[in-house]
Structure 1
């Protein structure tokens, strides 16, 4: 099993068995009265994250009447840590997410899917199933367009996975926090940065290494040409200071039948922590506007 992620929300992180593995999940705001109509919003965290990585956002949305489900992908949180890297692959991610939602009695066409970074890539691929009523993507890519780029990135992901196994979690987190893509996180309050670091340190070496090998950007199928098949409303969110993903989103928004791209000023890659009030407003407004 993966390491337990600290429960910083109201609610208990549970495990659900799907397709021969366990997935951690946090569920908030569900009404037992089936006649009460409430938006169901499913969240997928980023690499090194867990079900509670979204800060106070999930609790706030639940308090406003939404049914919140935050899932943990393999190798993270309380989810299983398979030995075979292929079990982490994108196709299995899709199957596991859909199986979990069916087990939670969330029917097709009911839920809005939200994903951040790695979780955004997983959410985007999973949305190809047609199971969701809308899609919200934070700092997300549809993959690398060429075989050469994917192979180069796959080798880079494999090298990093080996380093995680050879040098341990703390050395990896020290490296990860210094990456330029997270430079804007230095503006976070000290307590938020400390909590984020501690959450990252709770990961397992095998879980993160195999996640990189199985569902890293180098292993992800490129789906640029399939985005037009996602006909539900889509909202793409980018941070103004994250120019790489702003450019990716500008390209992506043109490929969906109905999509909008919003850039959050003064934010980088992790908008839900860097600009939590703005991010929450955009998520709430989008979810409440979806027919």
Structure 2
């Protein structure tokens, strides 16, 4: 597994930042955030998921299930974040589910979580839930009322599960993700444990970042996530789409940095 690491000698009192990209991406998508936080004196670690970026890409489908991908990331976590070291885990899309699982699996080390374009508090499923044309029209009509709280978010929220599709990231990734890897990861998105009850047990402060131009994850889903995680805080970025880290890099950097400073007493 390929891992990008940057650090300064003066980072001893600051938490380590672990960046997890989503399906079809690579650690290179975080490069502007990596340099920003390195310049602020943080140590950062950004692995390429199996089959992505510069990591190896075996042709065994069983290697790309969510549980296997989580095992790989947990190995990286334990290698770079020894027991007692405090860290902030930052995940995007599919990587946000890995980040949420790490928050539960390593509670003594993970002190803050940032979930970018994460979707709602529902399990991952291998097949995307179908949405009718009527649903799309209704969502477009009610969206302004949902955002200002004039009607219930539950109208357009169905906790059947979420599915992350491969992103078109050829202009940003160092190495294109092989098509068979995307197919295997898509079919391996089976995480029944990641339901509402699971996310309610994430007790650390959690920042949710949502791009208002996101065409894959809806505001209603992000609001449901905020409502579910006890100490979650939703921040919306007007000019960003689903790939917030490249659409609005400086806004993401500043939002994450503000969040870390706000909760520095927790670190």
TM-score range (shorter-chain normalised) is: 0.7 to 0.9
Pick the aligned partner of 1:94 from 70, 73, 78.
Answer: 70
Distance in 2 (alpha carbons) for counterparts of 1:54 and 1:46: 11
Partner of 1:224: 196
2:257 maps to 1:269: no
Aligned to 2:177: 203
Q: Point out which structure has higher relative CO (alpha carbons under 8 A, 6+ apart).
A: 2
TM value normalised by structure 2? 0.75
Q: Segments of 4+ in structure 1 off by > 4 A?
A: 142-145
Q: What is the CA-CA distance between 1:86 and the residue it aligns to?
A: 2.7
Q: How many corresponding residue pairs?
A: 225
Tell me, in whole angstroms, the C-alpha distance in 1 between the residues paired with 2:100 and 2:127.
22
Which has the higher mean CA deviation after the structures are superposed, 223-232 or 80-89?
Answer: 80-89
Question: Is 239-248 or 253-262 further displaced after alignment?
Answer: 239-248
Give the aligned CA root-mean-square deviation in angstroms: 2.7
Task: Give TM-score scaled by structure 1 length.
Answer: 0.69
| Distance in 1 separating the partners of 2:24 and 2:127 | 22
Q: 2:219 aligns with which of 246, 252, 273?
A: 246
User: Match of 1:136, SS?
Assistant: strand
Structure 2 counterpart of 1:138, from 94, 116, 138: 116
The gaps in structure 2 that reach 5 residues or longer are 131-165
1:24 alignment counterpart: 2
Aligned partners of 1:121 and 1:141 also within 8 Å: no
1:239·1:267 contact (CA, 8 Å) conserved in 2? yes
Correspondence for 1:121: 97
Contact 1:108-1:132 at 8 Å conserved across structures: no
Contact 1:117 1:140 in 2 (8 A): yes
Gaps of 5+ in 1: 1-22, 156-174, 178-192
Quote the offset at 1:29 in angstroms: 1.5
What is the rounded CA distance, in whole Å, between the counterparts of 2:2 and 2:126 in structure 1?
A: 31
Are the counterparts in 2 of residues 48 and 200 from structure 1 also a CA contact under 8 Å? no
* 1:144–1:257 distance in 2 versus 1, CA, 3 Å: closer
Matches within 5 A, 1:141-156: 141-142=119-120, 144=122, 150=125, 152-153=127-128
